[in-house]
């Protein structure tokens, strides 16, 4: 489906409804080097040795890579892969005995380094399996990053909040993973308070957000990012089954934002990518196909008729 509907920029899908280890956190944890995990009633937790849960997560990813290798035979062009980012992992995984990894600065550093090594190996494996790839787009999913920066992540007990991460620590952690592999680095954040300047400082060359969550006060930072050449991946169609508007309506959020920012219309299609809003994990296969097709069709509108 992906290669059929998005021949210009296909991606390796994630299918979290398959169960343990197929979810975003489990899939990301499966890439950690020498930091095995397991599932407990409270969620994912670091453990002393690899077990069934970690094996399931690796098997899910292995089957996905097998499918990618088969479908992508002869493909030449860019390919996107997405991985749970270090701060969302640190806010989601518990220590072996204690609170979230986020509560221990040393554990956060270890997890970040482990993930960076795992991401480098993952990208290398994708390149080996799809030798025609011209460029890999590496997307870090960081839905919890704003909560980490604001000190809103709950403790394991749920009765307190973990201290906020320092800005320089957040930048260093993201930069370590974004720069771990030879790829075009982007960060996706589906929160309403995306730290645009922080992501740029960490080395993100693309920022992925949902159009419906962009606030007026964000536009100055978005404009600065675009002026600096950062690509904007803009979620413009619902991520769950819904009535899809026609392509002209789908393209409008990008055109209106671009117009308010005052950039030349001819640059719009070169710097903006239209996407579903926050993935399609909750969508039916039929709707997912339609949503991807509508994004592709609306992108043609941006190129052929970029003005209002």
Model pLDDT for residues 269-288, shown as the tens digit of each residue: 999 999 999 899 999 999 99
Query: Where is the domain boundary, 203, 220, 249?
Result: 203
User: Looking at the DSSP assignment, which residues form a beta bridge with residue 50?
Assistant: none
Q: Which domain holds residue 267?
A: 205-308
Q: Which two tokens stand for residue 138?
A: 């590496």
- CA 90 to chain centroid, in Å, comes to 15
Query: Same domain, yes or no, for 246 and 113?
Result: no
Query: Where is the domain boundary, 168, 188, 203?
Result: 203
Query: Same domain, yes or no, for 75 and 217?
Result: no
Residue given tokens 């960060």 in the structure block: 187
Query: Same domain, yes or no, for 189 and 236?
Result: no
Number of domains within the chain: 2
User: Looking at the DSSP assignment, which residues form a beta bridge with residue 207?
Assistant: 187, 232
Query: Same domain, yes or no, for 279 and 195?
Result: no
pLDDT of residue 98: 82
Model pLDDT for residues 116-143, shown as the tens digit of each residue: 999 999 999 999 999 999 999 999 999 9
- Compute how many other C-beta atoms are within 10 angstroms of the C-beta atom of residue 212: 13
Query: Where is the domain boundary, 203, 221, 249?
Result: 203
pLDDT of residue 158: 85
Query: Same domain, yes or no, for 160 and 27?
Result: yes
pLDDT of residue 305: 82
Cα 231 to Cα 34, 179, 209, distances in angstroms: 34, 17, 11
Query: Same domain, yes or no, for 255 and 216?
Result: yes
Average predicted confidence (pLDDT) for the chain: 96
Q: Which two tokens stand for residue 295?
A: 């994004």
- Compute how many other C-beta atoms are within 10 angstroms of the C-beta atom of residue 168: 10
Q: What is the mean pLDDT of residues 102-127?
A: 98
Q: Is 292 a residue whose pLDDT tops 80?
A: yes
Query: Same domain, yes or no, for 186 and 279?
Result: no
Query: Same domain, yes or no, for 74 and 191?
Result: yes
Share of the chain above pLDDT 90, in %: 93
Query: Same domain, yes or no, for 4 and 136?
Result: yes
Query: Same domain, yes or no, for 28 and 53?
Result: yes
Report d(CA 288, CA 279) in Å as an integer: 9
Q: What is the mean pLDDT of residues 5-16?
A: 96
pLDDT of residue 156: 84
Q: Is 308 a residue whose pLDDT tops 70?
A: no
Model pLDDT for residues 13-51, shown as the tens digit of each residue: 999 999 999 999 999 999 999 999 999 988 999 999 989
Model pLDDT for residues 206-261, shown as the tens digit of each residue: 999 999 999 999 999 999 999 999 999 999 999 999 999 999 999 999 999 999 99
pLDDT of residue 58: 96
Query: Same domain, yes or no, for 221 and 180?
Result: no
Share of the chain above pLDDT 70, in %: 99
* C-alpha dihedral (87, 174, 257, 249), degrees to nearest 10: -60
Model pLDDT for residues 159-192, shown as the tens digit of each residue: 899 999 999 999 999 999 999 999 999 999 999 8
Query: Same domain, yes or no, for 195 and 219?
Result: no
């Amino acid at each position: 489906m992906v290669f059929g509907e998005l021949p210009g920029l296909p991606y390796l899908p994630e299918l979290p409804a398959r169960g343990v280890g197929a979810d975003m956190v489990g899939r990301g944890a499966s890439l950690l080097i020498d930091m095995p995990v397991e599932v407990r009633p409270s969620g994912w937790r670091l453990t002393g040795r690899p077990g069934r849960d970690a094996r399931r997560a690796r098997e899910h990813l292995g089957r996905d890579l097998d499918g990618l290798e088969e479908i992508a035979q002869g493909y030449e062009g860019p390919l996107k892969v997405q991985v749970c980012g270090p701060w969302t992992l640190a806010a989601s995984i518990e220590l072996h005995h204690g609170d979230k990894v986020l509560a221990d600065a040393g554990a956060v550093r270890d997890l970040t380094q482990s993930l960076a090594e795992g991401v480098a190996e993952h990208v290398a494996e994708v390149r080996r399996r799809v030798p025609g790839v011209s460029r890999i787009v590496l997307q870090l999913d960081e839905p919890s990053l704003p909560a980490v920066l604001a000190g809103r992540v709950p403790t394991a007990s749920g009765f307190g909040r973990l201290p906020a991460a320092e800005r320089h620590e957040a930048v260093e952690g993201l930069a370590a993973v974004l720069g771990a592999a030879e790829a075009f680095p982007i960060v996706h954040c589906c929160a309403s308070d995306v730290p645009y300047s922080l992501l740029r400082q960490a080395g993100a060359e693309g920022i992925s957000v949902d159009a419906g969550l962009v606030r007026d006060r964000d536009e100055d930072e978005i404009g600065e990012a675009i002026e600096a050449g950062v690509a904007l991946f803009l979620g413009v169609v619902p991520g769950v089954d819904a009535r899809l508007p026609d392509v002209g309506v789908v393209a409008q959020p990008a055109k209106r934002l671009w117009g308010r920012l005052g950039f030349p219309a001819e640059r719009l299609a070169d710097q903006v990518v239209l996407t579903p809003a926050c993935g399609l994990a909750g969508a039916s296969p039929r709707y997912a196909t339609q949503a991807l097709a509508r994004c592709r069709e609306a992108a043609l509108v941006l190129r052929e008729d970029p003005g209002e």
